[in-house]
Structure 1
């Protein structure tokens, strides 16, 4: 679902299959010296140097233990599933929260009775690791936050002194930007995953929350045609077509981020995971989050936040106590918090006052603290959601499908999948 930052790709290609402490991730449970080998599967491409240092310190405090990490940010789902199919399940592994994580809960240790461990995490983060019975089957990594990102300098140039909170205000901002010759949007419309994420802002019902919306869709109590804000999704796409860059369906995620970082467009939709890419394009870019206006009620404006990745302990691990200790260590210890806050530059799911590197994550943190965020819907959608809805929205943008066509297509897809 998430696009890994391009600046790490060369490094990742070198590191895939290499453990954080420099050893090959062979999947073996044997140690040449007869010690314990803890197998870890990690799908991330961020903060690898800090991760390696974190592992070294864990090993140093556990003589005779070797932590063998398979870093697999590319095709992580296929690689993990292959290991599961081969009965080579890691002692600790991470997956995306929601639909994917639930596929692995049959192998997961239940943390529900580990009160001292659970107390170290924010409740909203823990909620992303619950099964249908409310048991805590995984522990959260970091919050990832997404919404509209705007260029402060271009807004100032256009005389926009107050952030738009409604659809009408957003359109007026577009008009002011156009008057200064500034494209309002560089939405990455070539990417079906971006359009799929955009759509979820307009699906959100704050009274239900993200989980409640998905449950209502699954049991048939809620229909897409009845979502009060969903028609504004199409109004938003109309604004993108009218006030955005030329040929918006040719704009990919990297181009989108490049344009906003270099003052070539005022607004994109993305998450704080793109911080490193933005910095690589222009470290002096003056950017911040803009909660997404989705109606004429300012209270509906949304910044979506979730712990999108979650760590599972294999309940059948030969070294269960050690695996639990390691997972708790990387997610809530001082070393783990440094890895997430400084190495990755993200807000940990664990409770901490540690300073976060990265202006977008810090900006999002203010909304989190103020309770002005909602959860993610798209991680709980049926498999195939992005391709279906993203493709339909692209068809709408070029006039090949109507608003009614798209909504009916989405409803049919969801009904068939649930």
Structure 2
């Protein structure tokens, strides 16, 4: 989920440049200045993030925060730094399988009761290791599914949201009759395709944890998933009714098109609120729970507190690093960044209003218990990228549906713990 808007590019490059310069001077900084190195795998609410850093520095004279925002290819960059023994003082990764692989570097928060009390228990649970230790602190709740353009649906005469695959196809035909591309799926991004696929993997009776557990113990196979073959029907609709050359559409183009009335549906999450606003603050968008079969009750909107911040247990400035992580995730300024800048629901306890209309839209589904958890963060390492690649191959006719299903099963079986 790596969003990176063009208008923020200069800021990100500047901050990354500052980090690089700081690295060159590391060990030779002024004796009266402490530099805290932070790795942030996002480019959300950058203006508010910068304000937050300024406030922290103002409250800590002699402290400099060097932030590397790495929204694109963040895990490769982070892994490269760690392999070079250049471990940031504070860094974030996806919770679940990926986070577990970094916990050997993590400070254990289990005894910091006053800090943990600031967060919702369900959010804290996402940062626990297999022994129940709290090894990281949660960021925001994120919700994903199909997002649709209300104005384009109205123009096409779609008065009822589709809740089955047949209804989704009928909606595509109505959009096509008005010359409106139904989809701008970011087919260039393997992570988008993999996240799309998890809707079709979901068994609502098992939820995400149950699905991954049964895949791991062999009780469940991809070929036996009741809705997984409908994934290929969905991709066929994307190819037939969506924008041309979907495998050339990246996440930024996808979001730009739906915000500017150039396509009716994308797959994304409410993490993209700030980029959608930057493209068109007047866009009328909302979640469309994903139709995955013939039963309206099986539609899915997936929700999780899925990004988590780790403090390097061997940081030269451990107490400062702990304070900074707590600050950005639970302080008034941190809540301002998350609620106003990002437009998402924080993992910490908050009374602030959430700016993002997508996050607020998702609240209604959450309140009605119509959401499920995330499978892709529980998948074996490397699975999402591999599955996304298989689906790209399917979209251009290089793999059949049966070949994709077999390849997905083979990868999972070999990579699972």
Same fold (TM over 0.5): yes
- Residues 40, 70 of structure 2: 8 Å contact kept: yes
Query: SS at the partner of 1:376?
Result: coil
The equivalent position to 2:48 in structure 1, one of 23, 30, 50, is 50
Deviations 1:68-103 (A, max 9, x none): 444444443344334433444333222222232212
Q: How far 1:33 sits from its partner (Å)?
A: 4.4
- How many residues align? The count is 416
Contact in 2 for aligned 1:141/1:309 (Cα 8 Å) = yes
What does residue 348 of structure 2 align with? 350
| 2:9 alignment partner in structure 1 | 9
Alpha-carbon distance change, 168 to 71 in structure 1, aligned in 2, over 3 angstroms: closer
The CA deviation at 1:31 is 5.9
SS of the residue corresponding to residue 126 of structure 2 reads helix
1:373-388 alignment, distance < 5 Å: 373-388=371-386
Tell me the CA shift for residue 66 of structure 1: 4.2
Distance 1:407 1:86, change over 3 A: closer
Q: CA RMSD in A?
A: 2.7
Structure 2 CA distance for aligned equivalents of residues 354 and 190 of structure 1 = 36
- Which runs of no fewer than 5 residues in structure 1 stay unpaired? none
Structure 1 residue 30: deviation in Å?
7.2
Please identify, of 175-184 and 93-102, the stretch whose mean Cα deviation from structure 2 is larger: 175-184
Q: Which residue of 2 aligns with 1:136?
A: 134
SS at match of 1:184: coil
Match of 1:101 in 2: 99
Say which SS state the counterpart of residue 206 (structure 1) adopts: coil
Instruction: Compute the displacement of 1:29 (Å).
Output: 6.3
Which piece of structure 1 moves more, 363-372 or 199-208?
363-372
CA distance in 1, matches of 2:39, 2:244: 42
Provide the C-alpha distance between the structure 2 equivalents of 1:194 and 1:214, rounded to a whole number of angstroms: 19
* Conserved? CA contact 2:2–2:72, under 8 Å: no
Show the counterpart of 1:331.
Answer: 329
Change (3 A) 1:271 1:128: same
Superimposed CA distance per residue, residues 126-155 of structure 1 (whole angstroms, 9 cap, x where no aligned partner)? 232121223221111122322111111121
Following the alignment from structure 1 to structure 2, what is the Cα–Cα distance between the partners of residues 50 and 247? 36
Q: Distance in 2 between matches of 1:186 and 1:24?
A: 40
1:336 Cα deviation from its structure 2 partner: 0.7
Distance 2:13 2:33 in 1: 30
Q: Distance in 2 between matches of 1:72 and 1:401?
A: 32
* 1:6-49 deviation digits (Å, cap 9, x = unpaired): 33223211220426xx9935573676344654443333323333
Is this contact kept in 1: 2:212–2:379, CA < 8 A?
yes
Q: What is the CA distance between 1:170 and its match in structure 2?
A: 1.7
The whole-number CA distance in structure 2 between the counterparts of 1:206 and 1:29 is: 53
Tell me, in whole angstroms, the C-alpha distance in 1 between the residues paired with 2:73 and 2:231. Answer: 31
**Correspondence list, 1:24-173, <5 A:** 24=22, 28=26, 32-34=30-32, 36-173=34-171
Distance in 1 between the 2:401 and 2:229 partners?
Answer: 8
Question: Contact (CA 8 Å) 1:30, 1:36: kept in 2 or not?
Answer: no
How much does 1:266 deviate?
1.6
User: Which aligned pairs between 1:356-395 and structure 2 lie closer than 5 A?
Assistant: 356-395=354-393
Partner of 2:180: 182
- Deviation string, structure 1 residues 266-290 (Cα, Å, up to 9, x no partner): 2111222333433343332211111
Distance 1:27 1:338, change over 3 A: farther
Q: Which residue of 2 aligns with 1:236?
A: 234
Structure 1 counterpart SS, 2:48: helix
Pick which of 335-344 and 187-196 moved more.
187-196
* C-alpha spacing 1:66/1:249, structure 2 compared with 1 (3 Å): closer
Tell me the alpha carbon deviations over residues 204-253 of structure 1, each in whole angstroms, 9 at most, x when there is no partner.
12233223322322222221111111121122122223333344444333
* Structure 1 length-normalised TM: 0.89
Cα pair distance change 1:355/1:411, threshold 3 Å: same
Describe the SS at the equivalent of 1:129: coil
Contact 1:109 1:314 in 2 (8 A): yes
In structure 1, how many angstroms separate the alpha carbons of the residues matched to 2:336 and 2:291? Answer: 34
Q: Deviations over 1:101-124 (max 9, x none)?
A: 212101112222333322322233
Paired with 1:246 and 1:335, the residues of 2 have a C-alpha distance of 43
2:307 paired residue number: 309
SS in 1 for 2:372: coil
Asked if the contact 1:198/1:269 (under 8 Å) is kept, the reply is yes
* Structure 2 unaligned residues grouped into runs of 5+: none
Cα 1:328–1:17, aligned 2, differ >3 Å: closer, same or farther?
same
Distance 2:47 2:10 in 1: 15
